[in-house]
Amino acid sequence: MIPRIIGFYLLSLLTSANCIAQTHWMELSTVGDVCAAFPERMNKLMKDLDLKIPELAQVNDYYNDADLVKACSALLEYYKNNNIASHLRKELPPFSTKTSAKGDSILQDIFRFYALSDKVPRDNSGHLDWAWEGPDSDIEWAWALNRHYPVRELLSIYSDTRNPKYIRYIDHFIKSWVIESLPYPEVKSSTAMWRGLEASFRVKVWSNVFYQFIDTDLISPATQLLILSSLPEHAHYAYNFHGQNNWLTMEMSGLATLATSWPEFKMSTKWLGYTIDQMTESLKGQVYPDGVQTELASHYHTVALHNFLLFNDICERAGKPLPKFYTDQLENMWNYLAWSIRPDGNGVMNNDSDLDFNRPRVLEAAQKYGRTDWEYLASNGDSGIKPEQNSSLIFPWAGQVVSRNNFSESAHWSFFDIGPWGSGHQHSDKLHISLAAYGVDFLVDGGRFAYRGKVADKFSKYARGSLSHNIILVDGKEQSPGPKLAKNAIEENQYKLTDQYDYAWGTAEPFSGIEGSAEHQRTFFYLKDQFWIVIDKIKTDRPRNIEALWHWNPDFEILKNEENTVFTQRKKGNLFIRPLNQANWKVDLVKGQEKPVLQGWYSKLYNKVLKNYTSVYSTEISEEVIIPWLIVPYDTIMPEFSAQIIDQDQEFITIKLTFDSNATYEVSLPLNNTDNIVIDEK
């Protein structure tokens, strides 16, 4: 029997080149077609499978008889009739002729990734150019193509239209990718086709395609077998060349999907065990005890959470329970998204984050975990049960203070960053403050803009640096990168949250490229329902130029007056900022500036750029200085007020504020500890 197999294999190798030359790849449809065109791959597929599994006995018999076509046909029959991946198998509704404009555009090879559309060219043999980088020559665009995002979109479109032409395009799309991917390079790569993230995304998409249409002719037997032949290569890449942190979670969830969706591979048990070990250790190292992912980017926190959850679901379906620590940390990660949510339902915009709409996912998690407090937070109190705890919260390992006065849609909300730089996707933005009220953002983070392409070429340095954040520049210099990870939680003397007020302070140093030494200390105080006081203390060994940056919502017109107050002028819901010291301030309202430096730009979504006002306060200082700021939200008419600094030294300040409503507040604040905070309200 063995000589017959060897002879068949050698004959296959000799004839495969002629078969491929004679058969156009688009016409490969049947089991016979693919066995004739790619006999070496089909033979390797058989060797990668555990043919000793009783259910594969028929496949094994045919293969031992050197009948590759019958062996492959029996393999596909096995997948049609077993109950593996039952969650992916669907009873398909009757076909229709309903169409989708977006789907028809994809059928013309026109794809849209990161807000940019382009038509991907084909070569003379009809294969898509899998290295095509889109209109901006951005490899991120090519990576999106190789993640098979169009397949995911067409699956959704088919679900809506039930038109089989969209699935037939998927058949050709995947078939082209597998053939063009040959030979598998077996090395760590950053090419368009072979990189860990793309391999993971493909496997997850392929599992849906393979099982959803296994019992139809919409995905041809040839394509089904090509998928199966490529899976061990994807597993080899994930097992040997995976990354760490967020990349690891995505790549391991892909490998676990592969191992559990196709457990017939000899290595599947080993692959799954490896992913469990890696993911458990990664969760320990990647998520702080307060539930915040160490990159400290809300967007990538959500990405990590999704993949940790996906892995949990994969293991549950496979009957592989995970440690209690794992499931507890998942709940902690959800708790961060719930308690940091803005009143409008969006998440925090920090480090490389977009303005992600988190409300639906938090509400879904609230139902899953039975967390009525999350439901109350995400619904603005429309449902759920009001939390008994303080409306504000600190995440002490992440060093993030989230303040709010209540849970309504018009609530005051702010975010203050006193934590580490982050383990990835970092911005030089320590001590940044974002602020919202009346259901809208007022003071904003600049966003992430883009990683590659024209937008990134122009804005990535601006996005990652200090210029796009609400912080202080010293002699025009930005913050240098700080520690990536927190070794401990924030000290208790750095924050105090009560029912009446929130208080916190932190420091940032050094500044990149300055002469001598300078340190920025910022003290944050929010009197609930009323106002914020921000106190910037600049320690310096010589005279300096100081610039305080405040970035505004791009939808708002921003004005200033002779008292150095910068404010909005909306029909309902406004905010003003005013420095309370007597420095000789120069105040510029900058919007869409390109020279001498970029300033006044905003990006709430990847590759989307808007102009926004930045109020730039600049002054010269000769020595250490303390700069108090008053930030007041108001409805329609800016309140008249008087401010007096009653007492001040290097460690303490007392400010008296009297508003036209005759409300008077005398606030005594230490600059760097929580002792002796006094609020006298009259």
Q: What is the pLDDT of residue 13?
A: 42
Q: Higher confidence at residue 13 or residue 65?
A: 65
Is the full-model pTM beyond 0.85?
no
Residue 321 pLDDT class (50, 70, 90 cuts)? confident
Beta strands 116-119 and 393-395, pairing class? unpaired
Of 103-107, 228-232, 245-249, 402-406, which gets the smallest average pLDDT? Answer: 245-249
User: Hey, is 371 helix, strand or coil?
Assistant: coil
Is residue 611's pLDDT more than 80?
Answer: yes
How far out from the chain centre does Cα 31 lie? 41
Q: What is the pLDDT of residue 2?
A: 38
User: Hey, is 37 helix, strand or coil?
Assistant: helix
Is residue 115's pLDDT more than 90?
Answer: no
Is residue 300's pLDDT more than 60?
Answer: yes
**Measured distance CA(283)–CA(281) in Å, rounded:** 5
Average pLDDT value over all residues in the chain? 93
Is residue 120's pLDDT more than 60?
Answer: yes
Those residues with Cβ within 8 angstroms of residue 331's Cβ, 6 or more apart along the chain or in another chain: 291, 369, 371
Architecture of domain 101-296+306-321: Alpha/alpha barrel (1.50)
Q: What is the pLDDT of residue 314?
A: 92
How would you class 543 by CB atoms within 10 Å of its CB: exposed for 0-12, middle for 13-18, buried for 19 or more? exposed
Task: Strand 613-621: give its sheet, edge to edge.
Answer: 472-474, 544-551, 613-621, 586-591
Query: What's the DSSP call for residue 103?
Result: H
Greatest alpha-carbon span in the chain: 101
Is residue 18's pLDDT more than 60?
Answer: no
From residue 285, alpha-carbon distances to 122, 177, 542 in Å are 44, 35, 41
From residue 34, alpha-carbon distances to 20, 41, 43, 205, 327 in Å are 9, 9, 11, 22, 44
**Measured distance CA(30)–CA(139) in Å, rounded:** 35
Q: What is the pLDDT of residue 14?
A: 37
Residue 57 pLDDT class (50, 70, 90 cuts)? very high
Is residue 11's pLDDT more than 70?
Answer: no
Residue type, 260: T
Residue type, 251: E
Nearest to 473 by CA among 582, 614, 605, 280: 614
Contact (CB, 8 A) for 444 and 555: no
Provide mean pLDDT across the span 41-61. 97
DSSP codes joined into one string, 449-512: --SSSHHHHHHHHHHHSSTTSSSEEETTBPBPP--SS-SSPPPGGGEEE-SSEEEEEEEE--BT
User: To 10 degrees, what angle do helices 245-261 and 196-212 make?
Assistant: 30
Nearest to 333 by CA among 372, 286, 281: 286
Q: What is the pLDDT of residue 226?
A: 98
Of 105-109, 481-485, 546-550, which gets the smallest average pLDDT? Answer: 481-485
Is residue 6's pLDDT more than 50?
Answer: no
Task: Strand 652-659: give its sheet, edge to edge.
Answer: 641-648, 652-659, 664-670, 678-681
CB atoms within 10 A of CB 81: 10
Is residue 607's pLDDT more than 70?
Answer: yes
How would you class 624 by CB atoms within 10 Å of its CB: exposed for 0-12, middle for 13-18, buried for 19 or more? middle
The H or E element spanning position 6 is helix 2-22
Of 101-105, 316-320, 347-351, which gets the smallest average pLDDT? Answer: 316-320
Q: What is the pLDDT of residue 575?
A: 98
Query: Percentage helix, strand, coil, to 5, in the chain?
Result: 35, 25, 40
Q: Which residues does residue 473 pair with via DSSP β-bridges, in sequence order? A: 547
Is residue 46's pLDDT more than 80?
Answer: yes
Residue showing tokens 């609230």: 366
Contact (CB, 8 A) for 506 and 421: no
Task: Please state, for a pLDDT cut of 90, what percent of the chain lies above it.
Answer: 90
CB atoms within 10 A of CB 584: 8
Query: What's the DSSP call for residue 86?
Result: T
Provide mean pLDDT across the span 472-496. 95
**Measured distance CA(194)–CA(212) in Å, rounded:** 25
Is residue 22's pLDDT more than 50?
Answer: no
**Measured distance CA(449)–CA(353) in Å, rounded:** 9
Residue type, 107: L
Residue type, 235: A
Specify the fold of 393-681.
Beta-galactosidase; Chain A, domain 5 (2.70.98)
pLDDT in tens, 142-185: 999 999 999 999 999 999 999 999 999 999 999 999 999 999 99
Nearest to 501 by CA among 391, 621, 629, 360: 391
Q: What is the pLDDT of residue 682?
A: 84
Handedness of CA 365, 369, 373, 375 (dihedral sign): positive
Is residue 490's pLDDT more than 90?
Answer: yes
Six token digits for residue 559 = 């004005």
Q: Where are the domains of the chain?
A: 2-81, 101-296+306-321, 393-681
Residue 90 pLDDT class (50, 70, 90 cuts)? confident
Is residue 15's pLDDT more than 80?
Answer: no
Residue 1 pLDDT class (50, 70, 90 cuts)? very low
Nearest to 307 by CA among 236, 365, 256: 256
Q: What is the pLDDT of residue 675?
A: 92
| DSSP H helix total and E strand total for the chain | 18, 25
**Measured distance CA(568)–CA(552) in Å, rounded:** 9
pLDDT in tens, 663-676: 999 999 999 999 99
